[in-house]
């Protein structure tokens, strides 16, 4: 698009509806340490050329030497571009000695000499105290905005603004775009969120979008909230075995390819083992599969799998292990979707959904992640199995508080049952969308061949209160 310029980040360009508006005034706001200067330099180095250079102006917030020193630690910083396509200038001395009129004159002179296509003023807010008399800053802002509007350049004003200043500070009224960077604290976790408050002349993705800072700059993860899509898409009209012998015995013709299955049960019941059955079947058929785990690392999974003649080190199987301690859910979902696309995986095991829920910033965001993941997997024909740990060992009354069981195509409940001091495991198929299954509670055992059903017998001694739970 010729009326847009890249932000330096393809995912952020998606949030912005195609990039930053050209020949506009953009305000980037946020607290110290939120990445405003990194964002500004990322934008500059992604676009500047000797024919269309960038002019980076520091004021009195941070010394220019400090901006340059830390900028050189970033992977996109090109020392050869400095003085050729990226020009740095310190306005601090001019501001102290000659105030805002001096700054206005200096900026005008630099524009005439350098003829930049991009101008950054960092920090713009730091110039407020130099206004002096009442109304002087508004007069300065009017003259500066008029000068920049008459010259074909895109301006980025960086400042340590708070959210409530959007309504009070005059620079927000003249801005064509407002982008907020902020840190979000929830319990012991701290995450970063980007939000577009204003973007004249174009649409953008609303809401907050997670981002991370690194030597590569801002890595943005657009909010994953797929809208309902009523368009038809091809579904592979075939039923395939789950790969779990005990479960297949209760299904008439297997599950639909591309369906999602929720395995819910208490600790130690066999959820991960069932998941290994599920992906190992795909590997045995020569198909690609993925284990996305936050419960067990690859070494622990290999030890468990080897007991049943499987291996997680197969070329057809990818293990995406992430610790739930400092998990960025947005980043995790995008990495998983990218892995599904690049490998063409037919099956994915997500172990466990409870860890993903705990890492999500709020319940609504978790629902969005889950819906989008299931929706995209279905459209790609990828079968998804999710494990979910329940706190109750006996007498489960409900599965989850986040409607995971409603979204899943198939729901399987695993429970413990106590008989005169001997505890056994039971399996119940609660739901199979667009398919039939055998109802009832069946006992299963973990054998050398994996999970197997115990021959059907009377369930009259199944404990009181252990009926069918609320889905």
Q: Is the pLDDT of residue 164 over 50?
A: yes
Greater confidence, 461 or 8?
A: 8
| Contacts of residue 18, Cβ cutoff 8 Å, sequence gap at least 6 | 1, 4, 202
Percent of the chain residues topping a pLDDT of 90: 55
Residues 6+ away with beta carbon under 8 Å from 227: none
Q: Could you list the residue range(s) of the whole structural domain that residue 179 is in?
A: 4-221
CA 86, chain centre distance (Å)? 32
The Cα-based distances of 386 to 91, 279, 471 in angstroms read: 56, 12, 15
Does any domain span residue 444?
A: yes
Using the predicted structure, report yes or no on whether residue 335 has a pLDDT greater than 90.
yes
Strands 25-30, 347-351: pairing kind: unpaired
The answer to whether the CB of 242 falls within 8 A of the CB of 35 is no
Q: Within 13 Å, how many C-alpha atoms sit on residue 187's CB side?
A: 7
Rounded distance between C-alpha atoms, residue 208 and residue 197, angstroms: 10
Same domain, 112 and 256: no
Question: In 151-231, which residue ranges form alpha helices assigned H by DSSP?
Answer: 171-174
Verify that 276 and 411 share a domain, yes or no. Answer: yes
365-410 pLDDT, tens digit per residue, is 888 888 888 888 888 889 999 999 888 777 776 665 555 678 888 8
Return the higher-pLDDT residue of 287 and 249. Answer: 287
Taking the CB of residue 403, how many other CB atoms lie within 10 A of it? 15
The number of angstroms, rounded, from the C-alpha of 185 to the middle of its chain's C-alpha atoms is 16
Q: What is residue 28's predicted lDDT score, i.e. its pLDDT?
A: 97
Which residues does residue 255 pair with via DSSP β-bridges, in sequence order?
240
pLDDT at 462: 42
Same structural domain, 177 and 89: yes
For 212, counting Cβ atoms within 10 Å of its Cβ (0-12 exposed, 13-18 middle, 19+ buried), the class is: middle
pLDDT category of residue 269 using cuts at 50, 70 and 90: very high
229 part of a folded domain: no
What does the DSSP assignment read for 65-91? Answer: HHHHHHHTTSTT--GGGBTTTEEEEE-
pLDDT, average across residues 289-300? 93
Greater confidence, 250 or 264? 264
- pLDDT tens-digit map of 85-129: 999 999 999 999 999 999 999 999 999 999 999 999 999 999 999
| 417: pLDDT strictly greater than 70 | yes
The answer to whether residues 32 and 145 belong to one domain is yes
Answer yes or no: do 278 and 389 share one domain.
Answer: yes
CATH of the domain at 38: 3.40.50.300
User: Is 91 within the bounds of a domain?
Assistant: yes
Asked if residues 370 and 402 have their Cβ atoms less than 8 Å apart, the reply is yes
In a domain? residue 174 = yes
More confident residue, 258 or 402: 258
Q: Are residues 176 and 215 in the same domain?
A: yes
* In-domain check, residue 435: yes
Give the pLDDT band of residue 313 (cuts 50, 70, 90): very high
Q: How many domains does the chain have?
A: 2
Q: What is the pLDDT of residues 213-244, one digit of tens each?
A: 999 999 999 988 766 555 555 555 677 888 88
Per-residue model confidence (pLDDT) at position 461: 43
Q: Are 43 and 7 in contact (CB under 8 A)?
A: yes
pLDDT tens for 30-71 read: 999 999 999 999 999 999 999 999 999 999 888 888 899 999
Query: Is residue 175 domain-shared with residue 307, that is, in the same domain?
Result: no
Q: Tokens for 300, please give them.
A: 């622990």
Let me know whether 264 and 200 are in one domain: no
pLDDT for 423: 84
> Residue 276 falls within a domain, yes or no?
yes
The mean pLDDT of the chain is 87
Note whether 73 and 212 are same-domain residues: yes
- Name the nearest CA neighbour of 432 among 200, 245, 254: 254
Closest C-alpha to 319, from 306, 135, 300 = 300
Span 447-456, pLDDT tens digits: 888 888 888 6
CA distances from 299 to 190, 271, 319 (A): 29, 18, 10
Do 279 and 213 fall within a single domain? no
Mean pLDDT to the nearest integer, 76-89? 95
Residue 108 in any domain: the answer is: yes
**Same-domain pairing of 195 and 264:** no
239 and 255 Cβ atoms separated by less than 8 Å: yes
Tens of pLDDT, residue by residue over 125-139, are: 999 999 877 778 999
Residue 143 has pLDDT above 90, yes or no: yes
Is there a single domain that holds both residue 430 and residue 335? Answer: yes
Higher pLDDT, 465 or 110: 110
Judge whether 22 lies within some domain.
yes
> Is pLDDT of 471 > 70?
no
């Amino acid at each position: 698009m010729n009326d847009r310029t890249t932000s330096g980040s393809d995912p952020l360009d998606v949030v912005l509806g195609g990039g930053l508006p050209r020949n506009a005034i953009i305000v980037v706001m946020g607290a110290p340490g939120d990445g405003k200067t990194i964002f500004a330099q990322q934008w500059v180095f992604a676009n500047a050329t000797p024919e269309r250079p960038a002019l980076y102006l520091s004021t009195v917030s941070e010394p220019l030497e400090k901006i340059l020193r830390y900028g050189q630690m970033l992977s996109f910083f090109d020392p050869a571009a400095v003085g050729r396509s990226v020009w740095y200038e310190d306005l601090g001395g001019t501001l102290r000695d000659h105030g805002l009129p001096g700054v206005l004159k200096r900026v005008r002179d630099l524009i005439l000499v350098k003829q930049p296509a991009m101008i950054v003023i960092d920090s713009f807010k730091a110039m407020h105290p130099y206004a002096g008399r009442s109304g002087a800053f508004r007069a300065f802002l009017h003259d500066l905005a008029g000068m920049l509007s008459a010259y074909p350049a895109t301006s980025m004003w960086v400042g340590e603004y708070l959210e409530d200043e959007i309504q009070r500070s005059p620079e927000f009224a003249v801005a064509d775009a407002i982008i907020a960077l902020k840190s979000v604290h929830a319990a012991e976790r701290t995450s970063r969120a980007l939000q577009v408050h204003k973007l004249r002349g174009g649409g953008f993705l609303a809401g907050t979008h997670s981002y991370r800072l690194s030597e590569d700059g801002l890595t943005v993860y657009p909010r994953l909230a797929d809208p309902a899509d009523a368009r038809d898409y091809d579904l592979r009209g075939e039923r395939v075995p789950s790969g779990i012998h005990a479960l297949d015995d209760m299904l008439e013709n297997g599950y639909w390819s591309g369906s999602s299955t929720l395995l819910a049960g208490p600790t130690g019941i066999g959820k991960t083992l069932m998941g290994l059955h599920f992906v190992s079947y795909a590997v045995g058929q020569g198909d690609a599969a993925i284990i996305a785990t936050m419960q067990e690392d690859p070494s622990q999974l290999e030890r468990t799998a080897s007991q049943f003649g499987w291996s997680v080190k197969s070329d057809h199987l990818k293990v995406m292990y992430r610790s739930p301690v400092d998990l960025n859910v947005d980043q995790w979902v995008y990495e998983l979707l990218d892995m599904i696309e690049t490998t063409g995986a037919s099956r994915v095991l997500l172990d466990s959904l409870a860890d993903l829920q705990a890492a999500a910033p709020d319940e609504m965001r978790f629902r969005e992640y889950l819906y989008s993941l299931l929706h995209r997997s279905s459209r790609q024909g990828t079968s998804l199995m999710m494990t979910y740990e329940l706190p109750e060992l006996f007498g489960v009354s409900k599965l989850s508080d986040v409607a995971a069981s409603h979204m899943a195509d198939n729901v399987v409940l695993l429970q413990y049952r106590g008989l005169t001091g001997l505890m056994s495991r039971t399996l119940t198929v609660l739901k199979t969308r667009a398919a039939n299954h055998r109802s009832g509670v069946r006992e299963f055992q973990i054998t050398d061949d994996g999970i197997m059903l115990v021959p059907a017998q009377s369930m009259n001694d199944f404990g009181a209160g252990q009926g069918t739970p609320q889905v």
